[in-house]
């Protein structure tokens, strides 16, 4: 790995055994994710993109192959090391927000901030995502777009090297989805965060520096985008 590489996957496979059935969720796959880039991973349901995301994020381990992050090989790491990796180096944004319903928006973000040694300011991050005036509301009092903004704040407050977003617009309407994409692009641009967006929505690839297309458990194409499109101009 060089200094520009945040995560490197080298000939990674993931196989699940379900009774008498063996499922190759991820066939031999290699990928480098570079510092400061916005990478979109595109593919239909069942293409392997969620499996790839789980391995990148340290939520699952490969059946074979190597996964490197920060110069360390994670594929064979123990659960304690993977927990530290997820806690300190990765921020997660999920399709269905995964906020704790009994905590306010502020408390959901502070909970994440308390997990790491050098978090960003909760108030400043909440202001950055446009939620400063809604910090003391509970998730049930927030719209879907507002909950996703809190989810992004919760991920960003840890000041992670890598921000992973799993279908971040999947449960949002078109207008709100574009706003969330604009926020992710802003975080990538202004924080220098490495942002990986996993989606089935092909037009979203236009905002990325690179697009990796998946099919049948493989990356079939990686393309560079010399002129990323501002999210507010993306239509689907």
Tell me what pLDDT residue 2 has.
54
Tell me what pLDDT residue 4 has.
87
Has residue 197 been placed in a domain?
yes
- Residue 59 per-residue DSSP state: S
**How many CA atoms within 13 Å lie on the side-chain side of 113?**
18
- The average confidence (pLDDT) of the chain is 92
Tell me what pLDDT residue 74 has.
87
As a whole number, mean pLDDT of residues 108-122 equals 95
Band of the pLDDT at 3, cuts 50, 70, 90?
A: low
As a whole number, mean pLDDT of residues 142-152 equals 93
State pLDDT tens for residues 152-187.
999 999 999 999 999 999 888 888 899 999 999 999
Domain coverage including residue 83: 34-61+78-233
As a whole number, mean pLDDT of residues 60-86 equals 88
As a whole number, mean pLDDT of residues 181-195 equals 93
CA dihedral 83, 88, 93, 98 (to 10 degrees): 60
Has residue 66 been placed in a domain?
no
Tell me what pLDDT residue 75 has.
74
Are the C-beta atoms of residues 12 and 62 closer than 8 Å to each other?
yes
Cα 160 to the center of its chain, rounded Å = 11
State pLDDT tens for residues 13-25.
999 998 889 999 9
Band of the pLDDT at 70, cuts 50, 70, 90?
A: confident
CA-nearest of 221, 232, 235, 236 to 40 is: 221
Tell me what pLDDT residue 72 has.
86
Has residue 127 been placed in a domain?
yes
As a whole number, mean pLDDT of residues 74-93 equals 89
Has residue 54 been placed in a domain?
yes
Has residue 11 been placed in a domain?
no
Tell me what pLDDT residue 114 has.
95
Per-residue pLDDT for 197 more than 60? yes
CATH number at residue 215: 3.40.50.300
Our count of domains for the chain comes to 1
Has residue 223 been placed in a domain?
yes
Please state, in angstroms and rounded to a whole number, the distance separating the CA atoms of residues 98 and 65. Answer: 31
Has residue 155 been placed in a domain?
yes
> pTM of this prediction?
0.91
Per-residue pLDDT for 209 more than 60? yes
Per-residue pLDDT for 206 more than 90? yes
Band of the pLDDT at 210, cuts 50, 70, 90?
A: very high
Task: Give 162 or 70, the one with higher predicted confidence.
Answer: 162
Has residue 69 been placed in a domain?
no
């Amino acid at each position: 790995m060089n200094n520009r590489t945040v995560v490197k996957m080298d000939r990674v496979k993931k196989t699940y055994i379900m009774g008498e059935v063996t499922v190759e969720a991820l066939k031999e796959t290699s990928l480098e994710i570079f510092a400061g880039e916005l990478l979109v991973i595109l593919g239909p349901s069942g293409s392997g993109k969620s499996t790839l995301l789980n391995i990148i994020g340290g939520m699952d381990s490969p059946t074979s192959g190597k996964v490197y992050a920060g110069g360390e090989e994670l594929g064979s790491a123990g659960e304690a090391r993977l927990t530290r990796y997820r806690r300190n180096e990765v921020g997660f944004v999920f399709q269905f927000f995964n906020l704790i319903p009994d905590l306010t928006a502020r408390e959901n973000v502070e909970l994440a901030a308390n997990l790491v040694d050098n978090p960003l300011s909760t108030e400043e991050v909440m202001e950055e995502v446009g939620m400063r005036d809604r910090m003391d509301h509970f998730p049930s009092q927030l719209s879907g777009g507002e909950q996703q903004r809190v989810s992004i704040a919760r991920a960003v407050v840890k000041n992670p090297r890598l921000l992973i977003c799993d279908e971040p617009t999947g449960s949002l309407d078109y207008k709100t989805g574009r706003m969330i994409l604009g926020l992710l692009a802003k975080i990538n641009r202004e924080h220098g965060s490495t942002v990986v967006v996993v989606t089935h929505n092909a037009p979203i690839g236009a905002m990325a520096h690179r697009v990796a297309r998946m099919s049948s458990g493989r990356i079939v194409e990686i393309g560079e985008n010399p002129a990323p499109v501002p999210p507010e101009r993306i239509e689907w």
